[in-house]
Structure 1
Amino acid sequence: MNEIKAWYLSRTIWASLITVATALAGMLGLPVEGLDNSALADTLLQAVAAIAGLVAIFGRLSAKDRIG
């Protein structure tokens, strides 16, 4: 495991955040039973990857300097 990736691309981080969020939602009285945390984590991770790709494309198109 020598590869480095951004924290927001980690499934473990997303699954942990979703677990904390659903626990807090349950404490606040929101209906969270039947929620598939694994599917939600995968969906959020895909959304983050898509947004990161769009930001990279936009950044490159709006850049003032050439790539050397």
Structure 2
Amino acid sequence: MFKIAGALATWSLRTGDTLLLWLERYRQRRALGGLSDHMLKDLGLSRSDAGRETDKRFWEG
């Protein structure tokens, strides 16, 4: 019984970590998409670079 509970707890933590990672990617990509061309240039990115990143789905690394 304890092995099942431990496995469930581990799975739950991993699932939670994955969901947090996906949420962070979503937030960062939205923020990147909202930057001006000037701000992107400061980061060394073009609008097309930003577009390639913001077009990714949240689960894509």
Q: TM-score, normalised by structure 1?
A: 0.44
TM-score, length-scaled by structure 2: 0.49
